[in-house]
Amino acid sequence: MAEGKKRLLTGLQSSGTLHIGNYFGALKPFVDLYGDYESFLMVADYHALTSLKDPKLVQECIYNSVKDYLAAGVDPEKAVIFKQSDISEHTELAWIFDCLVTVPFLELGHAYKDKVAKGLEANAGLFTYPMLMAADILLYDTVIVPVGEDQRQHIEYAREAAAKFNSAYGQTFIEPKEHIVKAVGTIPGTDGKKMSKSYGNTVPLFGTRDEIAKAVMSIVTDSSGDRPENVYAMHKLLKTDEELAPLYEANKGSYKALKEALIEDLDTLLTPMREKRNSITDDDVKAVLKTGAAKAKAVASAKMEDVRKKVGVTL
């Protein structure tokens, strides 16, 4: 671990086009924090396999994820950007954790129950997802994990996995802390529910102005009041209450004008990132991941060497 710096890790599942919920819930907190830590940014491509079965799309999503990270402001010289599947220790440690926790414990997972309720196939990977996520975090002696409010339980699972291993085999893993931006929490979608690709209620992070406008204009509004709360909830991601008050006071009941103002503010934020992203090539991505894999592998392999000795498989 770098002298004087604690470790931070976060990642996004590479299963599709990012939206502003991903940005405000995970990417922006990482960009704001990562310079103060020894930081790891993971493309969670194995996690994506719980729902993504198209190999070409899997590869496309990996490229896209790294381009997204770089365009959002992450400097690969200041963070280790790597692909989960390049580090075999992740799945190896996840198996060990699977052998420490119970089925009833995993059945408590909110994310698993929620996805199954929505009709997603209840495959074993989805069921044991929290233990792979725990391995992702604990391999690197991670202290802080920037996540959205909906991911809080996964960090609790990671702490539980660490505690069970430490109890069985001796002190080995740090119990991590989640970092949730209180002003953001759960990012609202165009229908007022949590923004999610599965709900079809997203605003694309790197979409064109027209795509952003189309999404914003589809935001469901509450016609019973002077202020469209769903529009305001999204606008608060960009400006303070004090900055927004005059705009919303001057446009009471004028939902179209307020949506147009939101479009302008989103486009002002997203245009520079969109332009930067368009300049990043696939070869740039490969170079970043190759460098990141070497750095992540050095840390993960050292940790697993200790783990193997402690569980007794090293002769």
Same domain, 254 and 165: no
Q: Pick the catalytic residue: 67, 83, 194, 259? A: 194
Q: What is the pLDDT of residue 149?
A: 73
Domain with residue 126: its CATH number is 3.40.50.620
Same domain, 42 and 113: yes
Domain total for the chain? 2
Q: Pick the catalytic residue: 115, 164, 259, 303? A: 115
Beta bridge partners of 80: 40
Task: Report which DSSP code applies to 37.
Answer: S
Tokens of 287: 């170079």
Same domain, 25 and 117: yes
**Contact yes or no for 173/165 (Cβ under 8 A):** yes
Same domain, 210 and 230: yes
Same domain, 148 and 288: yes
- Tell me, yes or no, if 115 is annotated catalytic: yes
Judged against a pLDDT cut of 60, whether residue 1 lies above it is answered with: no
Mean pLDDT of the chain: 91
Mean pLDDT, rounded, for 226-248: 93
Select from 208, 207, 269, 187 the least CA-distant residue to 17: 207
Same domain, 120 and 229: no
**Contact yes or no for 274/73 (Cβ under 8 A):** no
pTM of the model as a whole: 0.82
**pLDDT (tens digit per residue) in 238-277:** 999 999 999 999 998 889 999 999 999 999 999 999 999 9
Same domain, 287 and 265: no
Range from 105-109, 158-162, 207-211 carrying the lowest mean pLDDT: 105-109
Q: Pick the catalytic residue: 197, 214, 236, 276? A: 197
**pLDDT (tens digit per residue) in 58-100:** 999 899 889 988 999 999 999 999 999 999 999 999 999 999 9
Residue 2 placed within a domain: no
Domain containing residue 38: 7-185+281-311
Domain with residue 218: its CATH number is 1.10.240.10
Q: What is the pLDDT of residue 288?
A: 98
Q: What is the pLDDT of residue 307?
A: 98
